[in-house]
A and B are shown apart, each in its own frame.
Chain A
Amino acid sequence: QVQLVQSGAEVKKPGASVKVSCKASGYTFTSYGISWVRQAPGQGLEWMGWISAYNGNTNYAQKLQGRVTMTTDTSTSTAYMELRSLRSDDTAVYYCASFNSSGPFDYWGQGTLVTVSS
């Protein structure tokens, strides 16, 4: 069955960077894209961007441009999301989700809590 397993919780200081991983199994990794979505405590879902696991093309939300980088390692079927210059309002649960090229987000990772605190 399809599974997306994310790395564990992180605590970072303001100004630092974090890199979250998302390991896929149960499907052909390069046939789908991976999107990243975050959710601040008590808030709604915020789409961050996506990466094509087929060719590495990316598309980022404008508000995160310049601070976020999404990559994949097809040899291990793993996607990564790096966020730099962390601020307190980056504290959130970060999710990865798989999607077909023209479809919704059908499978989700379990989420990774990133806490930014001095």
Chain B
Amino acid sequence: DIVMTQSPDSLAVSLGERATINCKSSQSVLYSSNNKNYLAWYQQKSGQPPKLLIYWASTRESGVPDRFSGSGSGTDFTLTISSLQAEDVAVYYCQQYYSTLFTFGPGTKVDIK
């Protein structure tokens, strides 16, 4: 199975400041035939199901604010919230869908400082 790791486990950022979350996969999730990274990011607020934010490592889901961006390729990926808002308090998970044995990262909790 592809193992996903995330760092940090948690972070607290002041309103309006940048939050950066890292995700690493144990093997590349870049599919060479289409040059796509099979990597998604989800946001889960307390008491709610996860919500898809970003897929193909950098494509924002419809309706997701542009302060959320994804980057990276191969095995190393980053989710950036450019200007943290109060409503962004949540746990963020990365997920690989390169293998149909889908796996999630352990999550990163984002809070307001």
Q: List residues of chain A with CB under 8 Å of any chain B CB.
A: 35, 37, 44-47, 50, 59, 61-62, 95, 97, 99, 102-106, 108-111
The 8 Å CB contact of A102, one of B42, B51, B97, is B97
Whether A111 touches B102, Cβ cut-off 8 Å, given contacts A44-B93, A45-B93, A106-B61, is: no
Q: What are the residues of chain B within 8 A of A62 when measuring CB–CB? A: 1, 101
Q: List residues of chain B with CB under 8 Å of any chain A CB.
A: 1, 38, 40, 42, 44, 49-52, 55, 61, 91, 93, 95, 97, 100-107
B52 and A111 within 8 A (CB)? no
A-B contacts, 8 of them at CB < 8 A, read A44-B91, A44-B93, A45-B95, A47-B104, A59-B100, A99-B97, A110-B49, A111-B49
Whether A47 touches B49, Cβ cut-off 8 Å, given contacts A103-B97, A104-B40, A106-B61, is: no
The 8 Å CB contact of A45, one of B1, B52, B101, B104, is B104
B102 and A44 within 8 A (CB)? no
A45 and B50 within 8 A (CB)? yes
Whether A108 touches B51, Cβ cut-off 8 Å, given contacts A44-B106, A44-B107, is: yes
Q: Considering the chains assembled together, what is the distance between the CA atoms of A102 and B38 in angstroms?
A: 8
Residue in A47, A50, A111 with the greatest tally of chain B CB atoms within 10 Å? A47
Q: What are the residues of chain A within 8 A of B102 when measuring CB–CB? A: 35, 47, 50, 105
B7 vs chain A, min Cβ distance (A): 14
Q: What are the residues of chain B within 8 A of A50 when measuring CB–CB? A: 100, 102
Q: Considering the chains assembled together, what is the distance between the CA atoms of A95 and B95 in angstroms?
A: 15
Q: What are the residues of chain A within 8 A of B44 when measuring CB–CB? A: 45
Residue in A35, A50, A106, A109 with the greatest tally of chain B CB atoms within 10 Å? A106
Q: What are the residues of chain B within 8 A of A99 when measuring CB–CB? A: 97
